[in-house]
Chains A and B, each alone.
Chain A
Amino acid sequence: MNSNHQDGEQMHHAERDEFTTAREAEEARLTAYALGQLDAREQAEIEAVLAGSESARQFVAETAALAGHVREACRQGPGLAPSVALREAVQYQLQSKEVRNMSDTNLPTPVVGKRSWGAVAAKVAVAACLLAAVVAMLMPAGQMAREAARRSSAKTGEAAEKTMAVEHRSFERAEKTEAKQDFDGAPAFAPESTRKTTVANNLSQSGLAYPLLREPIPMESGRRPDSLELGKESPALDTEEYDSIRDNRFLTTAKQPLSTFSIDVDTASYSNVRRFLREGRLPPRDAVRIEEMVNYFRYDYSPPTGNVPFAVDMEVAQCPWRPENRLLRIGVKGREIDRAERGPSNLVFLIDVSGSMADRDKLPLVVEVMKRLVDQLTEDDRVAIVTYADGTALRLPSARGNEKERIKGVLDSLNAGGCTNGGAGIQLAYQQAEEHFVKKGVNRVILCTDGDLNVGVTRDDDLVRLIQQKAKSGVFLSVLGFGTGNLKDGKLEKIADKGNGVYAYIDSLREGQRVLVEQMTGSLITIAKDVKLQVEFNPAAVAAYRLVGYENRVMANRDFHDDRKDAGEIGAGHTVTALYEIVPAGAKHVGDDGETPLKYQRVPQENLTEHAKSGEMLTLRVRYKEPEEDESRLLEFTAKDSDSRFGKASADFRFAAAVAAFGMILRESPHRGRVTLAAVEEFTAGALGKDANGDRAEFVGMVRAARNLMPGR
């Protein structure tokens, strides 16, 4: 083609990218022609050119063909299926709008909800063969409507809820029966639920590699794996164990002005809950530890200035789940330590290679996560690998961090087989750590297991004692839980706690990376140990209070000043958040502990000190020890209530409150008030902050997933 461009054409494209050359513009025009994007005038011009140029004709033909392929490739793309969750969200949005618009008419809203959902579900079934709809189609029409209604009852607005209350209640009863009597005892819809479970598993295996977090399978609503499960994932009995948790109660300030607890930086509960929701199941109540869920997220608290290891940031605003109450947020932020600044790491991985670790999400994931960690190590760091199953093996005597290929070679050679017997293993691991102990560095045994720790040496108590003793000598223990079906959650948390370590549950490479690699400094460098918090509430401002979460961490008040009492650690850069729900002084309803009013004494309001009139709401005292010291130090902070509404609170405050509320709903906490999952999602609006990792956005997805599983909540 000749390149004598006419000025008119140049003008025509005057606004184009300044780096475009005349030749490129001409080529682009040919491309546009090939794609049929030119107007009649330009088209005619091009055709004139084409008539005289074989190469231009070929270019056009080829471009058209290529564009066709690109279009086809884009359209085929990764398989994308329509989303039930999306339709539900839209339905919900429309219906809440409709309820608002029609509040003074008598239109039978509930019927609208049921039928329309069924209709949508049927369409979805055709499009995507999603199992909910498949099941719905297998059912008689009436039953289908009921199923649909049950799923969508949460979303059909207030009017709908009332009408369907009866149905809903009978379902709840069924759910309870099921939980108690296990599978055989489950009433009427048990066969469906079996079918659904199987299909769900097929789907998650054949579909996307990643379980569809935002597209949970609307399985049997509200089913919890408290009872035995007959799922494909766990062909044997499900032997996951969780320690039972009873929500902290409201305490009256007049009688118990002090509240003491140990900080907790664990995050395992959140990723474990996420795993359940991804699988389309509700987590068992006791798997939901609210403080671990709240602490999963990073908060933008200011780091400390000066010579203290952490800073404290407090905020008081309206309590979102009970607006007449206040919510106190205590944020603790550990000093940041640069990667360059941190001392060398001396790590010993103690890896469970028993037969049960063979699953894809266990040993292979351990290996992948560790390889990523190895990439981050430097010459000064050390790594050793000890495995345990039938026997114990020192697979890699402590090696330098720059021997990356050798370390990875050992990792690649690990495979699962044999029974668990971790006893000697743990001693061998400690021995490796002690032999290569680095002063001013990180000395840590990292236990990777799916839960079985039939430690030959010991019973649980002895194991804990061993771990405690080693922690005193400066070698801490962290626990990484992997996999499903066999997780001994309570036990793992306990031993990590005793070993001054972190317990994290790793459900994906991303989570492993987060815990071990991205937060390596936080997970591994302890900047203060035995950190205890004690709040003294001012009765002039606070009638009663309740610590949200931290059930396992509550301490006797007298232990606060007792340096022999062990408490939680805080790592570099870590944030720890605690929430108190507060009943303000003067409120009619004080807590919910139903106490009998006293006959012989009055609340001793007249004995208040001068400080009580200061307007302060509370005083927070923090005790901690420097990592190498045995004597604790004390810090003191005060907070006032600024009377702000929830909407005016900081984004971090609102987000933490949303996570806590979500946890309370999942736990079915008696203190959750009337908060719904929809409300939780609203709390997060505008509260996602920077969210560099997308963690908070993912949380919103989890809330949506839970909405499918918990109609009416």
Chain B
Amino acid sequence: MDASGRSDTQQWVLDAVERYELPLLRFAARLMRDEHAARDVVQHVFLSLCGQSLGSLQDRLNQWLFAVCRNKALDMLRQRENTTMLREAEFPEAAAREGDPAATAERADLYRSLYRLVEQLPLPQREAVALWSEGFSYREIAEIGGTNEGNVRVVVHRALKHLREHPAARQLLGDDRGSRAAAIRPVCENRFSK
């Protein structure tokens, strides 16, 4: 218990909120493509958490949260399959923090495009990429999604392969490689050809 008389059984839930709210929200928003719905999902996750005991989750808390989050999000997606989304996700204007303003603005633009692409991936790919972005390993992603690691391997690969083709990704990769940018494309295309 802390000074306010809150018992440990509750503090850990509040700690979990502080620590996992935004990662879960990002993940849910990726799946749902709708921030409001994502917030509902996240609320559901933490309210469910209130009914759990820490002992039963212990070191699996992270995965438990994401699994509950995923299931709820998919439920809701199923329910509202036919709804048209009128809102587009908004990026914060100052996405990048350093460097010269023009370059960072351009980079923010590229990230924005890349993010939109991620949002347009098929659901399984979107899910896998979102979880990977939150720091989960393939094995954990498989557990959360109720599938096997081999499958995750292929799904993530397909997602990246798809993203790679996009000009925004090309340009980002070009930035990294400086003058070699122009050489990348043919190399990739011929990569496995004999």
* B-binding residues in A (CB < 8 A): 1, 3, 12-17, 20, 23-29, 31-32, 35, 37, 55-56, 58-59, 62-63, 65-67, 69-80, 82-83, 85-87, 89-91, 93-94, 97-98, 107-108, 111-112, 115-116, 119-120, 123, 208-210, 212-215, 509-510, 513, 690-694, 697-698, 700-701
Q: Once the chains bind, are B50 and A90 in contact (CB under 8 Å)?
A: yes
For chain B, residues 22 to 67, give those with C-beta under 8 angstroms from any C-beta of chain A.
Answer: 22, 25-26, 29-30, 35-37, 39-40, 42-43, 46-47, 50
**Among the interface residues A17, A56, A77, which one has the most CB atoms of the partner chain B within 10 A?**
A77
State the 9 A-B residue pairs at the shortest beta-carbon distance, nearest first: A28-B157, A74-B133, A79-B92, A78-B89, A73-B114, A31-B157, A13-B150, A16-B150, A73-B111
Q: Once the chains bind, are A20 and B46 in contact (CB under 8 Å)?
A: no
Min CB distance A146 to B, Å, is: 16
* Minimum CB distance partner of A23 in chain B: B192
Q: Once the chains bind, are B80 and A693 in contact (CB under 8 Å)?
A: yes
Q: Once the chains bind, are B4 and A119 in contact (CB under 8 Å)?
A: yes
Q: Once the chains bind, are B151 and A15 in contact (CB under 8 Å)?
A: yes
Min CB distance B100 to A, Å, is: 19
22 residue pairs of the A-B complex, CB under 8 angstroms, read A17-B155, A23-B192, A31-B160, A31-B161, A55-B187, A56-B191, A69-B169, A69-B173, A72-B111, A74-B30, A74-B134, A78-B35, A80-B26, A80-B29, A82-B22, A83-B39, A85-B43, A86-B39, A90-B13, A90-B46, A98-B7, A692-B82
Main secondary structure of the interface of B (DSSP, over half): helix
- Cα–Cα, bound, A690→B76 (Å): 10
Chain A residue contacts of B172, Cβ below 8 A: 65-66, 69
Q: Once the chains bind, are A86 and B46 in contact (CB under 8 Å)?
A: yes
Cβ of B69 within 8 Å of any chain A Cβ, yes or no, is no
Cβ of B148 within 8 Å of any chain A Cβ, yes or no, is yes
- Cα–Cα, bound, A73→B22 (Å): 15
- Cα–Cα, bound, A701→B172 (Å): 39
Chain B residue contacts of A66, Cβ below 8 A: 160, 163-164, 169, 172-173
Chain A residue contacts of B184, Cβ below 8 A: 58, 62
Q: Once the chains bind, are B150 and A27 in contact (CB under 8 Å)?
A: no
* A-binding residues in B (CB < 8 A): 3-7, 10, 13-14, 17-18, 21-22, 25-26, 29-30, 35-37, 39-40, 42-43, 46-47, 50, 76, 79-80, 82-83, 86-87, 89-92, 95, 108, 110-112, 114-115, 118, 129-130, 132-134, 137-138, 148, 150-151, 153-158, 160-161, 163-164, 169, 172-173, 176, 184, 187-188, 190-192
* Minimum CB distance partner of A694 in chain B: B80
Other-chain contact of A509, B86, B95, B161 (Cβ < 8 Å): B86
Chain B residue contacts of A3, Cβ below 8 A: 192
Chain A residue contacts of B79, Cβ below 8 A: 690-692, 694
Q: Once the chains bind, are A79 and B14 in contact (CB under 8 Å)?
A: no
Chain B residue contacts of A72, Cβ below 8 A: 111
Min CB distance B44 to A, Å, is: 10
Chain A residue contacts of B86, Cβ below 8 A: 509-510, 513
Using known A-B contacts A55-B191, A691-B80, determine if residue A76 contacts B157 with beta carbons closer than 8 Å.
no
- Cα–Cα, bound, A66→B115 (Å): 12
Min CB distance A552 to B, Å, is: 32
Q: Once the chains bind, are A210 and B87 in contact (CB under 8 Å)?
A: yes
**Among the interface residues B92, B108, B158, B160, which one has the most CB atoms of the partner chain A within 10 A?**
B160
Using known A-B contacts A55-B187, A86-B21, A119-B4, determine if residue A76 contacts B39 with beta carbons closer than 8 Å.
no
Q: Once the chains bind, are B157 and A27 in contact (CB under 8 Å)?
A: yes
* Minimum CB distance partner of B44 in chain A: A89
- Cα–Cα, bound, A214→B37 (Å): 9
Q: Once the chains bind, are B90 and A27 in contact (CB under 8 Å)?
A: no
Chain A residue contacts of B6, Cβ below 8 A: 112, 116
Min CB distance B105 to A, Å, is: 13
Chain A residue contacts of B10, Cβ below 8 A: 94, 98
Chain B residue contacts of A70, Cβ below 8 A: 114, 118, 129, 133, 160, 163
Other-chain contact of B176, A37, A59, A65 (Cβ < 8 Å): A65
Chain B residue contacts of A67, Cβ below 8 A: 132, 160
Other-chain contact of B95, A76, A82, A87, A701 (Cβ < 8 Å): A76
- Cα–Cα, bound, A701→B176 (Å): 44
Q: Once the chains bind, are B153 and A28 in contact (CB under 8 Å)?
A: yes
Using known A-B contacts A24-B154, A73-B115, A87-B17, determine if residue A94 contacts B161 with beta carbons closer than 8 Å.
no
* Minimum CB distance partner of B7 in chain A: A98
Chain B residue contacts of A27, Cβ below 8 A: 157, 161, 192
**Among the interface residues B26, B50, B112, B134, which one has the most CB atoms of the partner chain A within 10 A?**
B50
Q: Once the chains bind, are B153 and A13 in contact (CB under 8 Å)?
A: yes
Chain A residue contacts of B4, Cβ below 8 A: 111-112, 115-116, 119
Min CB distance B126 to A, Å, is: 10
Q: Once the chains bind, are B150 and A12 in contact (CB under 8 Å)?
A: yes
Using known A-B contacts A692-B80, A701-B40, determine if residue A74 contacts B130 with beta carbons closer than 8 Å.
yes
- Cα–Cα, bound, A23→B22 (Å): 37
Chain A residue contacts of B21, Cβ below 8 A: 82-83, 86
Other-chain contact of A123, B18, B22, B95 (Cβ < 8 Å): B18
Known: A16-B148, A77-B91. 13 other contacts (CB 8 A): A17-B154, A31-B160, A62-B164, A66-B164, A74-B133, A76-B111, A78-B29, A82-B21, A90-B17, A90-B50, A108-B5, A112-B4, A694-B79
Chain B residue contacts of A111, Cβ below 8 A: 4-5
- Cα–Cα, bound, A209→B172 (Å): 28
- Cα–Cα, bound, A212→B25 (Å): 15
- Cα–Cα, bound, A332→B14 (Å): 46
Chain B residue contacts of A115, Cβ below 8 A: 3-4
Chain B residue contacts of A63, Cβ below 8 A: 160, 164
* Minimum CB distance partner of B141 in chain A: A37
Min CB distance A133 to B, Å, is: 14
Other-chain contact of A71, B5, B14, B132, B191 (Cβ < 8 Å): B132
Other-chain contact of B36, A14, A29, A77, A213 (Cβ < 8 Å): A213
Chain B residue contacts of A97, Cβ below 8 A: 50
Q: Once the chains bind, are A94 and B13 in contact (CB under 8 Å)?
A: yes
Q: Once the chains bind, are B191 and A16 in contact (CB under 8 Å)?
A: no
Q: Once the chains bind, are B91 and A78 in contact (CB under 8 Å)?
A: yes
- Cα–Cα, bound, A73→B164 (Å): 14
Chain B residue contacts of A17, Cβ below 8 A: 151, 154-155
- Cα–Cα, bound, A58→B184 (Å): 9
- Cα–Cα, bound, A94→B12 (Å): 11
- Cα–Cα, bound, A13→B110 (Å): 35
- Cα–Cα, bound, A56→B190 (Å): 10
- Cα–Cα, bound, A209→B88 (Å): 9
- Cα–Cα, bound, A692→B36 (Å): 16
Min CB distance A312 to B, Å, is: 28
Chain B residue contacts of A693, Cβ below 8 A: 80, 83
Chain B residue contacts of A73, Cβ below 8 A: 111-112, 114-115, 118
Min CB distance A67 to B, Å, is: 6
Min CB distance A2 to B, Å, is: 8
Q: Once the chains bind, are A208 and B35 in contact (CB under 8 Å)?
A: yes
Chain B residue contacts of A29, Cβ below 8 A: 153
Chain A residue contacts of B164, Cβ below 8 A: 62-63, 66
Min CB distance B70 to A, Å, is: 15
Using known A-B contacts A74-B115, A74-B129, A120-B14, determine if residue A37 contacts B154 with beta carbons closer than 8 Å.
no
Chain A residue contacts of B150, Cβ below 8 A: 12-16
Min CB distance B102 to A, Å, is: 18
Q: Once the chains bind, are B29 and A77 in contact (CB under 8 Å)?
A: yes
Q: Once the chains bind, are A32 and B138 in contact (CB under 8 Å)?
A: yes
Q: Once the chains bind, are B138 and A37 in contact (CB under 8 Å)?
A: yes
Chain A residue contacts of B129, Cβ below 8 A: 70, 74
Using known A-B contacts A74-B115, A90-B13, A209-B90, determine if residue A35 contacts B156 with beta carbons closer than 8 Å.
yes
Chain B residue contacts of A75, Cβ below 8 A: 26, 133
Q: Once the chains bind, are B153 and A37 in contact (CB under 8 Å)?
A: yes
- Cα–Cα, bound, A17→B191 (Å): 23
